[in-house]
Amino acid sequence: MDHHHQQLYSLWSYPYVFKIKKHFFVSLSLLSLLIFSTVVIVNLIDSSSFEPLYRFGLLSPSSLALRTDCDYSKGRWVRRTSSSSLGLLYGEECRFLDSGFRCHKNGREDSGYLHWRWQPHGCDLPRFNASDFLERSRNGRIVFVGDSIGRNQWESLMCMLSQAITNQSEIYEVNGNPITKHKGFLSMRFPLQNLTVEYHRTPFLVVIGRPPANSPAEIKTTVRVDEFNWQSKRWVGSDVLVFNSGHWWNEEKTVSTGSYFEEGRKVNKTMGVMEAFGKSLKTWKSWVLERLDPDKSYVFFRSYSPVHYRNGTWNLGGLCDAEMEPETDKRKMEPDASHNRYIYEVIEEMSYQHSKVKFLNITYLTEFRKDGHPSRYREPGTPVDAPQDCSHWCLPGVPDTWNEILYAQLLSMNYTTK
């Protein structure tokens, strides 16, 4: 009886205990998985609500690995939480800002546009560390080449880097030129780091010149698609080069104003703008491969920065001053600018000869930011009936994110000038 009882007990109880244990562990694992996936999903859905987890020490930012293969171009804008340590990097008083980019000073009252950060999909942007960037750039040259939006980005980087300098008066323009809009060349020197951060204005990258002799009168200037900009000799030997071009490659800024394309010292009136852009990029590519040291120079071509003129083009009353928030309706976003395909393809062709040539793809993230432009808060003295500016960016603002991505891409290549 006892024996029988014992047997029953044992037959019944051991598996029962085992089952309880098993269930317990299975449930525990499921629960952990659930917590983990909730955290991940919450992160994907809304990273602003995810940030407090950092503060409670449940997850450190570094536990979301800094992946070297991360595609920073994909992601979403999330509102910064007020207590977030990922705050603004600098203020509008930064002395390297053009007056046209100081939107508050020019009367803009809303400040919501300052409170967004880019959350890439599946990884984090490394925190911008100005001292680290400066240290890596010691004895070097960082050069921006392009149009006024390249200048916008250059000013942003100047402000971001100068935050690591205790006495900012030490930083000076090598030719003593002030930061004013129309200078073609500005070189800011960080004496303690023996570093210059330069801007070279060249909207087309290639040569703009007089047409050949005996050209018809309607041809006022030519864009020589097969001749690289003469300023380019100054860019040789730089450590980081950030090119951009695109906003001038349209009918309006070329053939409609008497500026035709020229190839082989012959004007070609049938050559289309995009075809000419493609040819100019080939010219750029040859220059990079022939003149830059592939072991030394980190070369970026920034993608097209979208404009946000609503209810008309820039010159026909287009505006963006009512925009206070990033776009939420993806159907209202423009498709990737056609310029980008040309840039991307040329970079792909180069990548095996010069592996440090990268496409800085900011178009998609920037497309959301219809709220980030100076609109009617332009530089002091702008006539009230002047067109709104829905193509440049208020600073601090969107170009800061471009520079965070630039820094992230440099880090992934172990960038240093040494």
Ligand X SMILES: *[C@@H]1O[C@H](CO)[C@@H](O)[C@H](O)[C@H]1NC(C)=O
Catalytic site residue 148? yes
Contact segment (CB under 6 A) with ligand X among 13-21, 101-109, 165-173, 281-289 equals 165-173
139 makes contact with ligand X (CB under 6 A): yes
| Residue 418: burial class (beta carbons within 10 Å; 0-12, 13-18, 19+) | exposed
Instruction: DSSP for 145-198, please give it.
Output: EESHHHHHHHHHHHHHHHTT-S-GGG-EETT-----TT-SEEEEEETTTTEEEE
Q: Name the active-site residue from 124, 147, 239, 389.
A: 389
Q: Is 325 in the site for ligand X (CB under 6 A)?
A: no
If you compute the radius of gyration of the chain from its CA atoms, what whole number of angstroms results?
27
- Which residue in the set 13, 38, 257, 311 belongs to the binding site for ligand X (CB under 6 A)? 311
* 23 vs 341, beta carbon nearer ligand X: 341
Name the token pair of 224: 């020589």
Beta carbon of residue 38, minimum distance to ligand X (angstroms, whole number): 26
Which of 47, 124, 137, 148 is an active site residue? 148
Kindly state whether residue 221 participates in binding ligand X, applying the rule CB under 6 A: no
Alpha-carbon span 314 to 298, nearest angstrom: 35
Rule CB under 6 A: is residue 143 a binding residue for ligand X?
no
Site for ligand X in 18-57 (CB under 6 A): none
Which of these ranges, 85-93, 166-174, 177-185, 371-379, lies near ligand X under the rule CB under 6 A? 166-174
**Any idea what the Cα angle at residue 409 is, between residues 403 and 413, rounded to 5°?**
140
- What is the distance between the alpha carbons of residues 411 and 290, in angstroms, rounded to a whole number? 25
Q: What is the DSSP string of 58-124?
A: SS-GGGS---TT--TTSEEEEEPPTT-SS--S--TT-TT--GGG-TTTTT----GGGSEEEEETTS-
Q: Which is nearer to ligand X, 46 or 263 (CB)?
A: 263
C-beta closer to ligand X: residue 8 or 413: 413
CA atoms of 205 and 42, how far apart (whole Å): 44
Which residue from 31, 45, 88, 322 is in contact with ligand X, where contact means CB under 6 A?
322
- Torsion, Cα of 356, 397, 130, 344 (10° steps): 0
The residue count for binding ligand X (CB under 6 A) is: 27
Return the number of the residue (102 or 339) whose C-beta is nearest ligand X: 339
Per-residue mark of binding to ligand X, 170-199 (x: CB under 6 A): x-----------------------x-----
Establish if 268 lies at the interface with ligand X (CB under 6 A).
Answer: yes
- Is 73 a binder of ligand X (CB under 6 A)? yes
Asked if residue 314 binds ligand X (CB under 6 A), the reply is no
336 belongs to the binding site for ligand X (CB under 6 A): yes
Residue 62 within binding range of ligand X, rule CB under 6 A: no
Q: What region, left, alpha or beta, does residue 384 occupy, with left being phi > 0 and alpha being psi -120 to 50 degrees?
A: alpha
Helix axes 2-45 and 47-55, enclosed angle (nearest 10): 120
Greatest distance between any 2 Cα atoms in the chain? 122
Which residues are marked as active site? 148, 389, 392
| Residues in touch with ligand X (CB under 6 A) | 73-74, 129, 131-132, 135, 139, 167, 169-170, 194, 268, 270-271, 275, 311, 319, 322, 336, 340-341, 344, 361, 363-364, 413-414
